[in-house]
Structure 1
Amino acid sequence: MPHLVILYTPNLDRATSDGGADMGALCRELCDAMLAVRDEADRQVFPTGGTRVLAYPAAHSAVSDGGAAGIAAGLGGDYAFVYMNLRMAQGRSAVVHQRVGDALQAVVKAHFAAQLATRPIGITVQVDEGHEVFDAKNSSLHPLFNRN
């Protein structure tokens, strides 16, 4: 943990010049932002080896009214949507929750600035802290970053 899962409409896989977004770059930017978040004692919040960002285009989607309002507004009817859900383990403070949310939101605003200015797009960023009823981990990644 933490895991940030991104679901998005497949029209964002187009070239940026055609209203798309570089989702691979977004994943890297979000991961880097998560790794940079510090707690109140200036410690890194998320373990480097456990931080993951995954993005998936929806195989099927329907957004809003299907494009009618966008067309009427002169923005086109090719709506896009991005849903981001960060799931992290319990135990972090409200300050850390806010810092994480602010960091993700800053990346999102910068990355999607062109789309937000030129096309109908909705973007949701959600941070959840869960109560796990079962939590097993198997990893050979963590030892790479725990060496002294």
Structure 2
Amino acid sequence: MPHCVILYTPNIETRTDVGALCRKLADTMLTIHDEAGKQVFPTGGTRVLAYPAAHYAVADGEEDYAFVYINVRMGAGRSAEVQQKAGDRLMEVVREHFAPLFAQELIGITLQIDESPGQVYDGKHSTLHPLFNK
């Protein structure tokens, strides 16, 4: 179930490696554990996807502002402490990745973690989970 979706203004594509950010976030997600030592984001279910916005408007439009929205979705049942730890760790990775841009660009970043408690359907079909559940 864990997914991380990145939506961004395409004006950052020439100034940062979005693919590298995806890998860094996925690698970090795989290192986060709950209070019992269990992996919060299962390896076979961890996916990070990034999409440039085809159209966008940021702030007053006076400059070529950039924006990145990161949404992390995790299954229900994690404690508030684990959710906070996950958010802090992922935001640390994001801040480090974008540090060079922050030094010279006008950019905003939002990272949110959502939980999915009210699912009415959660169909899955995967050959990835068995690979990592040995």
Relative to the length of structure 2, the TM-score reads: 0.96
Question: What are the Cα deviations for residues 106-139 of structure 1, in whole angstroms up to 9, with x where unaligned?
Answer: 1011000011111100000000002212111111
Q: Residue 103 of structure 2 aligns to a residue in which SS?
A: helix
2:119 matched to 1:139?
A: no
Question: What are the Cα deviations for residues 75-125 of structure 1, in whole angstroms up to 9, with x where unaligned?
Answer: xx2210000001111111111101110111010110000111111000000
Question: What are the Cα deviations for residues 34-66 of structure 1, in whole angstroms up to 9, with x where unaligned?
Answer: 100011112211110000000000001111011
Q: Amino acid of the residue matched to residue 113 of structure 1?
A: A
Match of 1:74 in 2: none
Q: Amino acid of the residue matched to residue 6 of structure 1?
A: I
Match of 2:12 in 1: 12
CA RMSD after TM alignment? 0.8
**Identical residues among aligned pairs (%):** 64
Structure 1 residue corresponding to 2:100, chosen from 114, 119, 127: 114
Structure 1: runs of 5+ lacking an equivalent: 15-19, 68-76
Q: Distance in 1 between matches of 2:120 and 2:75?
A: 11
Structure 2 residue corresponding to 1:29, chosen from 24, 29, 42: 24
Q: Amino acid of the residue matched to residue 42 of structure 1?
A: G
Q: Residue 111 of structure 2 aligns to a residue in which SS?
A: strand
Relative to the length of structure 1, the TM-score reads: 0.87
Q: Residue 36 of structure 1 aligns to a residue in which SS?
A: coil
2:99 matched to 1:104?
A: no
Match of 2:115 in 1: 129
Structure 2 residue corresponding to 1:64, chosen from 54, 59, 62: 59
Q: Residue 112 of structure 1 aligns to a residue in which SS?
A: helix
Structure 1 segments, 4+ long, off by >6 Å, are none
Count of residues in correspondence between the two structures: 133
Structure 2: runs of 5+ lacking an equivalent: none
